[in-house]
Amino acid sequence: MRTKVLVTGANGFLGKAVCKNIRNVNKYKVLPLHGKSEWDLTKQKYVDYALQQYEPDVVVHLAATVGGIGANKENPGLFMYDNLCMGMNLIESCRKYGKLKKFVMVGTVCAYPKFTPVPFKESDLWNGYPEETNAPYGIAKKALMELLIAYKSQYNFNAVNLIPVNMYGPNDNFNPEISHVIPALILKIDRAMHVGKKEIELWGTGEASREFLYVDDCAEAITKSIEAEVDPSPINIGTGKEIKIKDLITRLAKLMGYAGDIKFNSDLPDGQPRRCLDTKKATEELGFTAKTSLHEGLKNTVSWYYNNKEQYKFNDYFDYIQ
């Protein structure tokens, strides 16, 4: 009999990739839970009902209320409340359910302190306060990590805590109100080309760095974690390589054929100064190493964007971009 894997947030960017990856392993059967309109995981009764209906062996928790810097600044209470409620409801319901073999918690790099030394080590998580604009979301996810450690200690609850870095790839969210770095930049460049704009202005100084993980690589790490014999202490998931935002936008502009000027507005925030993970633990405990280079991943993402922009009406977002 195949192991039944319940995936929350199955219709999201990462969720689609994870469901696809798990389905490629014959011994697993995927049980997808889709969006909040169908399953509101902030309500305990829906969580309990899902467990009763599907009777999973494993839960992979991906559902989240997320967004970029702007969305985080406008919705700190909502982001913290929703993510805490969803996680706590799932963890407690799974504990009471009593039949679960593994709980896979997918956290966030936003949980790390703002000035964490690079590369970020899992032991650094509690050595300071997160970057302010992402703090409510990051603290919510960090609290859930600690909850799983406590549940392991008190109830012997079997769980794994994964901390992926910034993800990107096909099927990413291009809505400018909630999109992350790479889709936001792709959309901004395409809009500038569409209207003949000879200059693009971006937030911050361009000196901030980020590490980017291709979504299919992250999905592979999550699948590997299902059977890994590990404790619930956090495990970084990434490439271990960083790039400055100014260099990233230059690469994207070249890929997309944009020849205009790129300027930065230092009056607007950079966010966290640097992000780059120490990924040794993932290699040692999960047998995971990211395979997709940034160049290959960006090419795939830009290609997907152009091939799907009419279907998803991405041009409708141009009115919301400066």
Catalytic residues: 137
The position carrying tokens 């830009």 is: 302
The whole-angstrom separation of Cα 214 and Cα 237 is 11
The residues, any chain, with a CB within 8 Å of residue 118's CB and separated by 6 or more, are 242, 274, 275, 276
Q: Structure tokens of 210?
A: 């980020």
- The shares of helix, strand and coil residues in the chain, as percent rounded to the nearest 5, are 45, 15, 40
**Burial, 287: exposed, middle or buried (Cβ in 10 Å; 0-12, 13-18, 19+)?**
exposed
Q: How far apart are CA 241 and CA 287, in angstroms?
A: 18
Contacts of 306-314 with CB under 8 Å at 24 or more apart are: 309/190, 312/174, 314/174, 314/187, 314/190
Which phi and psi (to 5°) does residue 184 adopt? -65, -40
137 vs 81: CA distance, rounded Å: 9
Q: How many residues does the chain have?
A: 322
Contact between 186 and 305 under an 8 Å Cβ cutoff? The reply is yes
